[in-house]
Structure 1
């Protein structure tokens, strides 16, 4: 069962693409069911959106709310991926942060599912024009979201396979525009049928006892904290993983220092460490499974990168 991940600017035609794609998938692949995880319906947003007000403006204008919202979406996708193997899951959301796409990629692979990125590639001025027609986002917020967009790259494993669509070049929306897309998706599904997707070491779950797990988690996260502090002292512009946790799957995972407004003090890092351990302990209580050491270190470094600004909020 593949996860088809939409990606694109706000107001770039993603939902139109999803609607057309769902229709044509039902025609070409009738033995599959289609499940859409829709940003519009995630976290009960639909009940909070009216003709005069869209709560998504509040969410995307606040980094903390946006992070919480992405967490809700990720949970919905994970629940969908645990359903029938004959279901195609389509995630209709901007997915404009490459680190988030990487998280979704790892999650899909841990459940032995393939991820396909469907990129709605339009110029920024088209996004602005389409937004003006529906008046969804204020101009300053839209510009900010566009500036933060991290384009998918087929050279990155979490963005590959990458299928690019240019809906602004269509004469009108129709399933005819999706014919080349469905051909590529069918080819990918056929290739998948020749061999099962296997989780690699960075995503594979293993069984471990509670006491050993917590002790191991404490030890690994402290190693990462110490490594970040030492790297800052040396004046490095970015921090990679400690050498003992590096492998072919996580060598490109780094924590940026130079371009970050956050100063990673020991107090900040300890707070993030405690929060990360609390989240992982909750997952362990629910699933009784954990990732290997390299994956724990990788996920914690990414957790610091994505959540570092929370420490400043708490301290202020």
Structure 2
């Protein structure tokens, strides 16, 4: 519940209603709704029960109230739920952002098309190369700066495999990056071009 509250950015508090074990056994024995525990099960639950503690973050703020208390601290409980600090989500409570179902296919096709276009249009003079790539979503026109030499097919294929491997994990397992992750063909093309510029040796 603590993790769910943090994920939803909600305030949370713990209210611990204290009763003796004997009182709990008496209540269980006198239940009339047919949902009472057997004595053995109840004893097992009482043995395994871990009392909340204000020293641990998932129980804080903690309000301890006797079962027969006539005046519980309702104003303080209300303030904790309406005015207390809202703890931000962390990586353990964030929802995982999943990639669209066609992201892997787009990753492969766009990176392969960029490799083929570079091989076809490079002149060996280097500088900025304006690429035109036809995809299912339309025409992509990324620009890439390449060194003054002919880049080989094996070099581009090796960098493509590395790029795809790096991003395949994020697609299949999801990511907890802040904000939405863009797996559009345009975004993939821009990422791959940047990757090539950083890894192609002069």
Same fold (TM over 0.5): no
Larger Rg: 2
Q: Give the TM bin, normalised by the shorter chain.
A: 0.3 to 0.5
State the TM-score, normalized to the length of structure 1. Answer: 0.29
Structure with greater proportional helix content:
1
State the TM-score, normalized to the length of structure 2. Answer: 0.44
